[in-house]
């Protein structure tokens, strides 16, 4: 993971570190995005999900509420090929409810490594 000082902090609390910038047009609300990702609990770095383990990229429409708010915010303005790490505070992830079936406890801050594969 990147050192904390390398992350850019948004006013909402999402922290973003771009490992590799992408190319082409930037994503906007309504863009269809295909990514590979890994997700960890920030507290103990326990992985709770990975599209790579499933061997299938994850696809969603940006800004439509189909992903956690932290993803909608962090992935706005990215380009194809971008690799980034994000730290999402609980309030912009799964909040007080968590997701017990995935091992995400209530009020858990999350870390993701995301590679943007395709934007349409």
pTM for the full predicted model? 0.92
Asked if the structure places residue 113 within a domain, the reply is no
**Which domain, by its residues, includes 95?**
4-108
The pLDDT value given to residue 2: 54
- Asked if the model's pLDDT at residue 1 lies above 60, the reply is no
The one catalytic residue among 7, 94, 109, 111 = 94
Q: Among this protein's residues, is 109 annotated catalytic? A: no
Number of structural domains in the chain: 1
Is 23 designated active site? no
120 belongs to a structural domain: no
Query: Considering the domain boundaries, does residue 119 fall inside one?
Result: no
Concatenating the DSSP letter of every residue in 14-39 gives -EEEEEE--BSSPP-TT-EEEEEEEE
- CATH number, domain containing residue 101: 3.10.50.40
Does position 27 have pLDDT exceeding 90, yes or no? Answer: yes
Evaluate whether residue 114 is within a structural domain: no
Catalytic member of 48, 58, 60, 61: 48
Is there a domain that residue 117 lies in? no
| Inside any domain, residue 52 | yes
The model's pLDDT over 34-90, given as tens digits with 9 standing for 90+, comes to 999 999 999 999 999 999 999 999 999 999 999 999 999 999 999 999 999 999 999
Task: Give the DSSP H/E element, type plus range, for residue 54.
Answer: helix 51-54
Annotation says 94 is catalytic: yes
């Amino acid at each position: 993971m990147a050192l904390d000082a390398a992350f850019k902090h948004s006013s909402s609390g999402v922290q973003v570190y771009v490992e590799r910038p992408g190319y082409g047009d930037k994503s906007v609300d309504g863009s269809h995005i295909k990514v590979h990702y890994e997700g960890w609990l920030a507290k103990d770095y326990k992985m709770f999900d990975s599209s790579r383990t499933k061997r299938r990229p994850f696809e969603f429409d940006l800004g439509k509420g189909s992903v956690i708010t932290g993803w909608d915010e962090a992935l706005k303005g990215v380009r194809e090929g971008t690799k980034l790490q994000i730290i999402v505070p609980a309030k912009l992830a799964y909040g007080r409810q968590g997701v017990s079936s995935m091992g995400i406890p209530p009020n858990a801050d999350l870390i993701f490594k995301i590679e943007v594969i395709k934007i349409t």
